[in-house]
Structure 1
Amino acid sequence: MNGVGFIGAIIIGIFAGWLAEKIMGRNHGLLTNLVVGLVGALIGAFLASMFNIHFMGWVGSIIVSTIGAVLLLFLLGLFKKRA
């Protein structure tokens, strides 16, 4: 999340977590959405850097964070089914 600041990262994390929740058909609370969104942002940024994809600003951060959050929820769903 380049150049959005601390408060911006929290807002983007909540929004990305909420979007991922809706895309994956889950129902979580605000705090879980924040955690999923922020961890998703780390995953998304890592993947974007691996594929040499550049993103900037709010929109790029939301897209990358949401993709990472969806991936995180998908992987967590795989582990949850096995347990």
Structure 2
Amino acid sequence: MIINIIVGLIIGGLAGFCASKIMGESNGLVMNIILGIVGGFVAGLIFGLLGLGAGGYIGTFIVSLIGACGLIYLWRKVLKK
């Protein structure tokens, strides 16, 4: 169980880093990792509720990447107001 949490955090952090590069955003490494972890968690919940749960590390990474991109998009909208 602890290994799953650690792996989830690593995948979320990596997804946040990749999402920041895709979205052209540089909030700093730590903030990108946090956005990735939170975005991955939220996207995982939403995808799970829709019955589209991710399987394996690659699926988890893709869901986390989508969530991180969405969170970065929302982050931009909030800061630009």
Normalised-by-shorter TM-score class: 0.7 to 0.9
| Aligned residue in 1 for 2:8 | 9
Say if 1:14 and 1:30, in contact at 8 Å, map to a contact too.
Answer: no
Query: How far apart are the structure 1 equivalents of 2:29 and 2:5?
Result: 17
Q: Kindly report which structure 2 residues correspond to 1:1-83, keeping only aligned pairs within 5 A, or say none.
A: 5-82=4-81
The percent identity for this pair of structures is: 35
Query: How far apart are the structure 1 equivalents of 2:64 and 2:74?
Result: 15
- Normalised TM-score (structure 2): 0.85
Give the letter for the 1:62 counterpart.
F
Shift of residue 58, structure 1, vs aligned partner: 0.7
Query: How far apart are the structure 2 equivalents of 1:14 and 1:46?
Result: 17
Aligned length: 79
**Aligned structure 1 segments of 4 or more residues deviating by more than 3 angstroms:** none
Deviations 1:34-68 (A, max 9, x none): 21111011111122023210212110110001101
Task: Give the CA RMSD over aligned residues.
Answer: 1.5
- Normalised TM-score (structure 1): 0.83
Deviations 1:16-44 (A, max 9, x none): 00111011101133321221111011111
